Structure 1
């Protein structure tokens, strides 16, 4: 075992302990995937990341992203938290204005935006309406009449998300899901707030079978949802989504469409610094 630098970071909130925590091992060179998975399971967080030297000369660092049970090719809050930790630990980007992260999904650009970090949403690799049978399963899993579902679409960008649009944020906040009925579906639900609410949309994400069945704040789902809603003119080119409200969190996801890119950002705060034996 080696002593490796370790940070625990709160992502998508200005307030420490009100966002989504992420464990980051800064120098993971030499670790086997089995060791990474074991440690990620032990941290009992939604994700743990391991920073490595890049293999692509255009990248600043490489990251591997693990949940408690599997490795993800890409995830949003681990991208922002990893970039925050890399910069805070003295990392100097090769490109002006951008950090370039290498992950299994490819190269992800991360930029500073009004004091926040924001990543360019990766392409959605599966997109389109769900089948009638899946729509019924979603209604059962969310304990809603099917008529309440305004739209439902695959939004796969690493995690295999399905997006469900409801008429209002109040409907989103009232959901009491039946996770067994949801089966293995990863479901993100979004609905608009009334003007003046402080956020434009409310989001909740459910991951049946995972150690944490409702994720506090989810960058990958919000990236897919932004591409879906802005592309269908259901959301403006710039908006703020709230997530984690039901869990006592205060997650805020800042979305902005600029040219061909959709940027998904938020604030990060380091809560723990130290060393870990791995």
Structure 2
């Protein structure tokens, strides 16, 4: 029996980018109806981006659309830059939110609200499903893989809102940028590092995220980790209510992630988005 190829609209978006080609790209298939799980994973493996997404009809009247998110190795319940990039692609393709200026995305982690104004979008950070300090054994594995001394870690925390993130806080952005991790020592990890930039600059923190457990060595810009870290640091008083994060320079990118923690406790994570590829894809 001959299989009829599926031809679907396709958009690729650069997310958290101050200029085109400097952020984190996401591939978006705008009609995932009838695409099998195997086809979705195969495409995600082929694009070899941090994530590839598929837009589907929502299963609840509260949502504008449903999103499935795949790394090259597995499906994720939630991820930040794919959320913003897919929302941008959906708007580009003519999507109209039920409520002006506010998109509601349904994903495996639940409903995620996205605010948009022009090319800037921001999502409301979902609740963490795991928080608290890392256990000493896991922390030791991370510091060994990062090639740093345990006393260089100012603080550490689970900041998991779906992908499985853990983070260590170092004293300076320079220490974060100088990391040369041996990820073979933590092959299943989803882990990041943050450190402060000198006061008075454009960015409060430098962040790097490593996701060998998802088939991504180093993520150019990570919204989900930024969200979990922001919930942790703003609640503890370590970070101000509004700040910016720089990410990606070690992989040739120049990403800028904006964080706003509102008095009601909602943390918004956002940045600029650019549609760079428009066309169709054959599955």
Check whether TM > 0.5. yes
- Structure 2 gaps, min length 5: none
Which position in structure 2 is the counterpart of 1:102?
106
1:245 Cα offset (Å): 1.1
1:182 Cα offset (Å): 2.3
Of 210-219 and 31-40, the range deviating more from structure 2: 210-219
1:236 Cα offset (Å): 0.3
Specify the SS of the correspondent of 2:224: helix
Which position in structure 1 is the counterpart of 2:134?
130
> Does residue 73 in structure 1 map to residue 77 in structure 2?
yes
- Structure 1 gaps, min length 5: none
Which position in structure 1 is the counterpart of 2:147?
143
1:28 Cα offset (Å): 1.1
Q: Please point out which of 241, 262, 267 is paired with 2:272.
A: 267
Tell me: CA distance 1:151–1:114, structure 2 relative to 1, closer, same or farther (3 Å): farther
Of 171-180 and 114-123, the range deviating more from structure 2: 114-123
Which position in structure 2 is the counterpart of 1:120?
124
Specify the SS of the correspondent of 2:246: strand
Tell me: CA distance 1:175–1:117, structure 2 relative to 1, closer, same or farther (3 Å): same
Specify the SS of the correspondent of 1:160: coil
Contact 2:233–2:239 (CA<8 Å) still a contact in 1?
Answer: yes
Counterparts of 1:149-160 in structure 2 under 5 Å?
Answer: 149-160=153-164
| TM-score, scaled relative to structure 1 | 0.97
Aligned mates of 2:43, 2:185 — CA distance in 1: 30
Specify the SS of the correspondent of 1:56: coil
Contact 1:14–1:269 (CA<8 Å) still a contact in 2?
Answer: no
* C-alpha RMSD over aligned residues: 1.1
Aligned mates of 2:175, 2:24 — CA distance in 1: 23
Specify the SS of the correspondent of 1:239: strand
Aligned mates of 1:108, 1:35 — CA distance in 2: 25
Tell me: CA distance 1:29–1:114, structure 2 relative to 1, closer, same or farther (3 Å): closer
Counterparts of 1:1-278 in structure 2 under 5 Å?
Answer: 1-112=5-116, 115-258=119-262, 259-278=264-283
1:61 Cα offset (Å): 0.5
Aligned mates of 1:244, 1:139 — CA distance in 2: 21
| CA deviation string 1:143-176 (max 9, x = no partner) | 0000000111111101100011010101100101
Tell me: CA distance 1:114–1:166, structure 2 relative to 1, closer, same or farther (3 Å): farther
1:115 Cα offset (Å): 4.8
| CA deviation string 1:73-130 (max 9, x = no partner) | 0000000000001011111100132100000000000002575100000000100011
1:212 Cα offset (Å): 3.0
1:209 Cα offset (Å): 4.8
Specify the SS of the correspondent of 1:122: coil
